Amino acid sequence: MVNTLPPSTSFESKPGVKSPIKETVLTPRFYTTNFDTVAGLDLSAQEAELQTLLEEMRADYNRHHFVRGEEFEQSWEHIDSYARQAFIEYLERSCISEFSGFLLFKELSRKLKQRNPLLSEIFNFMARDEARHAGFLNKAMGDFKLSLDLADVTKTRTYTFFPIEWVIYSVYLSEKIGYWRYIIIYRHLEKHPENQFYPIFRYFESWCQDENRHGDIFKALLRSQPKLWNNSKARLLSRFFLLSVFATHTLTVHERSNFYKSLGLDATEFDRQVVRETNQTAGRAFPVMLNTDHPKFFSRLHQCSDYNLKMVEIERSSQPKVVKLVRKLPLIGAIIWNLLLLYLIKPIDTESLRGTVR
């Protein structure tokens, strides 16, 4: 996939350009897909819904939202070093994630312009939203005298090919889990303004509506394709992507527990709430959702997190790479084993509950 930034898209870099985080299985990835397959999708079953969502995108309810006000014009030296570092890591990960979405949606829009005008216009607006988010996050990093050279990231990042079916599953979940992360933090800080140490959190309520709308677009794409929800393969894939996204979330949140602590949130409880809410929301689109009430569900996820934290400690040590790998292998095996046991927990059939899932 060829990715170039259009002249109208501004991603300012400030002095103090930061090297992007090292790519791991937990860092946000850049994706490409089969554009010919996307162009040939039959959208007739959800065309009316997609047209409605397109009108919302054209209305651009957040066009004046991502404007930095006077509250940003101050020094942030008062933020203690632990909270500062954790917050910068949060901003960077979020920025890379939003920028990844921008690149994928912009390329989809360009490739589909002559072949599927409806999807092309929708993806163009989604790229617009993601560009705003990434730019806003990068400017926030600039307040801490750091920023990402996003144009350089475009050239140096590894791109992963996903079939469009996988893109639909994963982007839907990414947008919906993003919604719940933003809105839960926003509602918490509404009740506890003393923990709101930086103005960006006040933008989360409207911001998360972009995430929700994007998720609804991918829900319509998913439901327009019966093969993605009405057979046994779809049920297996739904379980896989749900578990993959939830496991990544759990491991990432606990790696950055200092950030959530600085907001007055307990990382474990925050993770539980996000996973539960996202799982319930996914029940509106997927043929199954995971049984998060199973007594072993969260305990096994948290075991995976504990093993991952031990691997982080090993990686930070000064030991030779070979020694680190040998020490990490049993932990990797334990994570895979726990994930397999989680996958084998009987899921909840949402097609039979379609009228009752909230």
pLDDT digits (tens, 9 = 90+) for 243-300: 999 999 999 999 989 899 999 999 999 999 999 999 999 999 999 999 999 999 999 9
Q: Per-residue pLDDT averaged across 21-48, rounded? A: 81
Give residue 354's pLDDT. 63
pLDDT digits (tens, 9 = 90+) for 126-142: 999 999 999 999 999 99
Give residue 149's pLDDT. 82
Asked if the model's pLDDT at residue 357 lies above 50, the reply is no
Average pLDDT, the chain: 89
Asked if the model's pLDDT at residue 60 lies above 70, the reply is yes
pLDDT band at residue 353 using 50, 70 and 90 as cut-offs: confident
pLDDT digits (tens, 9 = 90+) for 162-189: 999 999 999 999 999 999 999 999 999 9
3-state SS of the chain is: CCCCCCCCCCCCCCCCEECCCCCCCCCCCEEECCHHHHHCCCCHHHHHHHHHHHHHHHHCCCCCCCCCCHHHCCCCCCCCHHHHHHHHHHHHHHHHHHHHHHHHHHHHHHHHCCCCHHHHHHHHHHHHHHHHHHHHHHHHHHCCCCEECHHHHHHHCCEEECCHHHHHHHHHHHHHHHHHHHHHHHHHHHHCHHHCCCHHHHHHHHHHHHHHHHHHHHHHHHHCCHHHCCCHHHHHHHHHHHHHHHHHHHHHHHHCHHHHHHCCCCHHHHHHHHHHHHHHHHCCCCCEECCCCCCCHHHHHHHHHHHHHHHHHHHHCCCCHHHHHHHHHHHHHHHHHHHHHHHCCCCEECCCCCCCCC
pLDDT band at residue 355 using 50, 70 and 90 as cut-offs: low
Q: Per-residue pLDDT averaged across 33-38, rounded? A: 94
pLDDT digits (tens, 9 = 90+) for 138-154: 999 999 888 888 877 77
Q: Per-residue pLDDT averaged across 33-40, rounded? A: 93
Question: For a pLDDT cut of 70, what percent of the chain falls above it?
Answer: 90
Asked if the model's pLDDT at residue 20 lies above 80, the reply is no
Give residue 81's pLDDT. 81
Give residue 63's pLDDT. 87
Asked if the model's pLDDT at residue 334 lies above 90, the reply is yes
Greater confidence (207 vs 344) lies with 344
Asked if the model's pLDDT at residue 356 lies above 80, the reply is no
Q: Per-residue pLDDT averaged across 2-15, rounded? A: 39
Q: Per-residue pLDDT averaged across 76-90, rounded? A: 85
Give residue 200's pLDDT. 94
Give residue 151's pLDDT. 78
Give residue 221's pLDDT. 97
Asked if the model's pLDDT at residue 22 lies above 80, the reply is no
Q: Per-residue pLDDT averaged across 24-34, rounded? A: 71
Give residue 358's pLDDT. 41
